[in-house]
Amino acid sequence: MDLGLADRTVLVTGGSSGVGLATVRALLGEGARVATCGRDGDRLAKAAARLGAGGDRLFTGVCDVRDADAVRRFTDAAAAHFGGRLDGLVNNAGQSRMKRLDDTTAEDWRDELELKFAGVLNPLAATRGYLRASDAASIVNINAVLAKQPETRLITTSAARAGILNLSTSLARELAAEGIRVNSVCLGLIDTGQWTRRHAAADSGLTYEEWQAELAADRGIALGRLGRAEEVAYAVVALLSPRASYITGTSIDVCGGVGRGIL
């Protein structure tokens, strides 16, 4: 099926690795033009080189989503590079904070809430005018099943994710009159660099494959494995597509069956 994304322009935050990079790759594969940013310029440059897309298809820039002015500068530069047009936004920048309540400081709470909310609100403010001018504007917020199924081992992240899911629903209603759809993709455990680093830090003596299998069993993942970044990207790209023109205010779980709620 043609998803209708050819020659449309999408901005993806946090596109230098993991789900963000897989989403950029999937969009390029659909013929879209993509602008993406990250905090680490070297890692972003290496990711862009691996993608092998020319400047007419891919625009990159160093940007911290917590800095509203930097986000606006990047957005305006990206839009200008692609002829003043933006059709989609993927809010992906962020990370998980593996801490329990007694290990968490007031600064941890402030940092986590700032990152999660600024990661949605700053790109929205910067792109809203451009998206309003599109005939098929779509925003996808990358979230986690933690938003609906709290995890005490990630207490700050769980709370912040729940707030973002709530915000996404409100944004879908607020922006519908402007022709902008807003949806969420809620992840389970995805095999990205974060889990590779946690395996190394655990120093368990297990291979990564053995450690991953134990992790999947411990977390009750029905499919018995971690997900792959490209499996998330498929859902994101589908929601960005004009084919999904009647879908807004919803969330799709990409979690291997770890979700146990009925809502």
Domains of the chain, earliest start first: 9-189+227-254 (3.40.50.720), 194-225 (no CATH)
Whole-angstrom CA distances from 229 to 34, 186, 206, 235 are: 18, 12, 23, 11
pLDDT recorded at residue 225: 87
pLDDT recorded at residue 48: 92
Exposure b/e, 221-230, CB count within 10 A at least 16 = b? beeeebbebe
pLDDT recorded at residue 199: 87
Instruction: Render each residue's pLDDT in the chain as its tens digit; 263 residues.
Output: 799 999 999 999 999 999 999 999 999 999 999 999 999 999 999 999 999 888 899 999 999 999 999 999 999 999 999 999 999 999 997 777 666 766 778 887 788 889 999 999 999 999 999 999 999 999 999 999 988 887 778 788 888 899 999 999 999 999 999 999 999 999 999 998 778 888 888 888 899 888 988 989 988 898 988 999 999 999 999 999 999 999 999 999 999 998 666 55
187 Cβ contact partners less than 8 Å away, ≥ 6 residues apart? 19, 142, 143, 144, 145, 227, 232, 254, 255
3-class SS shares of the chain: helix, strand, coil, % to 5: 50, 15, 35
pLDDT recorded at residue 130: 98
| Residues 64 and 70: beta-carbon distance below 8 Å | yes
pLDDT recorded at residue 209: 87
Q: What is the pTM of this model?
A: 0.93
pLDDT recorded at residue 263: 55
Query: Hey, what amino acid is at 235?
Result: A
pLDDT recorded at residue 231: 97
